[in-house]
Amino acid sequence: MNTENLSFKYELEQKEPRTNDGGTTRGASVKDFPASIGIAGVSMRLQPGSMRELHWHANAAEWAYVISGTVRTTIIHPDGRSYTDNFEPGDVWYFPKGYGHSIQATGTEECHFILIFDYGNFSEDHTFSVTDFVSSVPPEIAAQNLGLTLEEVAALPQKEAYFAKGVVPDEMSFVATARPEESDI
């Protein structure tokens, strides 16, 4: 590491964001922040009910800290079991490298969390999303594997969705059941 002109400070929230349907993300790798050789980070915000679609990282494990709001994660273990957990400010999660996972804001306010990756050169180029995968295989293969018709496959996203808007779920339900209207949350 060249220490000439090296800065040990990076203004993550000042970085140009990636924003689309229901979420915003700002990331920094060793390319943006050269002092950060062994780790990379992302500030992510999800609007109520919005989710970061099912995805997995080929080159890094993920550790996260919830700053505000509430969020639900689902992780898929390689043995086929899945785990769903709810998080509040101050909670952390950990996903091993290669484990599929999704993240959904469950509260009525924006959810903000910081993601840390154990690879300083982390990049979305080594992250694989389910919509990106399904849209890149021949429609006949997607239909056969998902049990859908060709018309239903044609209605799926034709590129990576990344974020998706949804209803605010009832965090007491482990399915995406909408929060009851009379909820005080």
Annotated catalytic residue within 53, 62, 160, 171: 62
Whether residue 179 lies in the annotated active site? no
Q: What are phi and psi of 94, to 5 degrees?
A: -140, 130
Annotated catalytic residue within 26, 45, 57, 112: 57
* Whole-number Cα distances in Å, 123 to 1, 60, 134, 160, 172: 20, 9, 21, 15, 34
Annotated catalytic residue within 55, 72, 112, 179: 55
Token pair listed for 36: 């950060």
Whether residue 57 lies in the annotated active site? yes
- Burial call 141-178: b when 16+ CB within 10 Å, e when fewer: ebbeeeebeeeebeebeeebbbbbebebbbbeeeeeee
Annotated catalytic residue within 26, 45, 72, 101: 101
What is the C-alpha R_g of the chain?
A: 18
Question: Residue 91 and residue 48: Cα distance in Å, rounded?
Answer: 18
Asked whether the beta carbons of 51 and 104 are under 8 A apart, the reply is yes
Annotated catalytic residue within 26, 45, 52, 112: 52
Whether residue 62 lies in the annotated active site? yes
Whether residue 55 lies in the annotated active site? yes
Whether residue 112 lies in the annotated active site? no
Question: Residue 90 and residue 104: Cα distance in Å, rounded?
Answer: 17
Annotated catalytic residue within 18, 88, 110, 124: 124
Question: Residue 152 and residue 89: Cα distance in Å, rounded?
Answer: 39
Active site residues: 52, 55, 57, 62, 101, 124
